[in-house]
Amino acid sequence: LRHFSPIGFWGLVNNAGISTFGETGWLSMEKYEKFADVNLLGSIRTTLAFLPLLRKYKGRIVFMSSIIAYFSLGNGIYSMTKAAIEKFCDALRLEMNKFGVRVCIIQPGNYARSTKIQPPVSAEEIWNELSEEEKAVYNKEYIQERANFFNRILSEGSTNGNEVVDAMVDALTSPAPKARYMVAKLKEKALVFVCALFPTVVMDSVLSYSLSK
């Protein structure tokens, strides 16, 4: 309140996020709780704290989601939190409309090289953290293949992080902001289109093919 400008409190950007790689059984319950706390509950806590001011000044709330909210390629724990953010925003957007508060979602594609949100994956570290039960199911060769696949995805990430920032700025300043800003390559948008509109069996086939390459 001490740092308010004459226009009051205008915009809140929920940008905090962490990412990791691993199939479902490879990750501990503690890691699931940490990701939910940072990626989902952190945004909710901050939003609730500032909601009275945002309603008072008819401001903007911007959430950082991801196209990964629509599908997963080895980082289901991240996808889970982003999908939850999307649903939280959908409810919040409808509720805030009557107060003149706009809620916007940014959905970046692969910008791993810009944000460094995900360091390169080490197959050895993954193997060492697996439980004995998981080691009995998987072998080191499989872990290495998955790690190589995910590291290749990371290496293909865009370095033009300013594209995402531009979308955030537009969401905060435009007289008519979009509900969703998808900032992604054409092939990434096409994959989202398939996942959102085609039957699940088609989506699973496309993703299974991608994982096998």
Q: Which residues pair with 139 in a beta bridge?
A: none
Single-letter amino acid code for the residue at 119: P
Instruction: Judge whether 185 and 158 are in contact, CB under 8 Å.
Output: yes
**Which residues does the annotation mark as catalytic?**
78
| 147 in Cβ contact with 121 (< 8 Å) | yes
Q: Where are the alpha helices (DSSP H) in 58-185?
A: 76-96, 112-115, 123-129, 132-137, 140-155, 162-173
Query: What dihedral angle (degrees, nearest 10) is formed by the CA atoms of 202, 195, 206, 28?
Result: -120
Cα angle for residues 21, 119, 47 (degrees, 5° grid): 75
Q: What is the CA radius of gyration of the chain?
A: 19
Q: Do 60 and 172 form a contact (C-beta atoms < 8 A)?
A: yes
State the DSSP code for 37.
I
